Amino acid sequence: MARDLFVIRHAKSDWSFDVDDFGRPLNQRGFENAPRMGARLASYAVQPGLLVSSPANRAITTAQLFAGQLQIPVSEIRTDRRLYEALPLTLLKVVNELDNGQCRVALFGHNPSLSAFVSYMTGDEFGNLPTSGIVHLQFDDIDDWGMVSGGTGRVAWFVYPKDGE
């Protein structure tokens, strides 16, 4: 059975508050785009059953807004500190440790980490993952998250708020 990983960058955040990077909240556009993109993800036949998020304010808030659209209880969102300011190999370790009972997982995190991770996982230069963007990676013929490694994934689709839907 294949594995599906949805790589999702947090929604647009606000720099106007006097908080550190970890505590930055979403701005108005972020609060508009995240539920819209969550609804878009919910409209696809293949959807994540597990949401794993960086605990940074802007990422976990994005995950919560997506959860509402995917009808996943917010209490079931897992957080992993390693998703904040992570290198691709750190993100791979998080993926390799996923429960094999979950075949479809969404990771919520940050750039440039996520863009580099998509490039690493596919073996192709990906470019930039915009805020609220979603990359659906498929790992064909892999039935164990521990077997996922660099170059084993392929981009099934990629959407973001300004792509014209």
CATH number of 108's domain: 3.40.50.1240
**Does any domain span residue 26?**
yes
pLDDT value, residue 165: 56
Pairing of strands 134-139, 3-9: antiparallel
Name beta bridge partners: 157: 136
* Domains: count for the chain: 1
Supply φ then ψ for residue 59, to 5 degrees.
Answer: -75, -45
Q: Range of 21's domain?
A: 3-159
- The answer to whether position 164 is within a domain reads no
Cα-Cα-Cα-Cα torsion 91, 94, 96, 97, nearest 10 degrees, comes to 180
pLDDT in tens, 27-86: 999 999 999 999 999 999 999 999 999 999 999 999 999 999 999 999 999 999 999 999
Task: Note whether residue 165 is domain-resident.
Answer: no
Residue 16 has pLDDT above 80, yes or no: no
Mean pLDDT score of the chain, rounded to an integer?
95
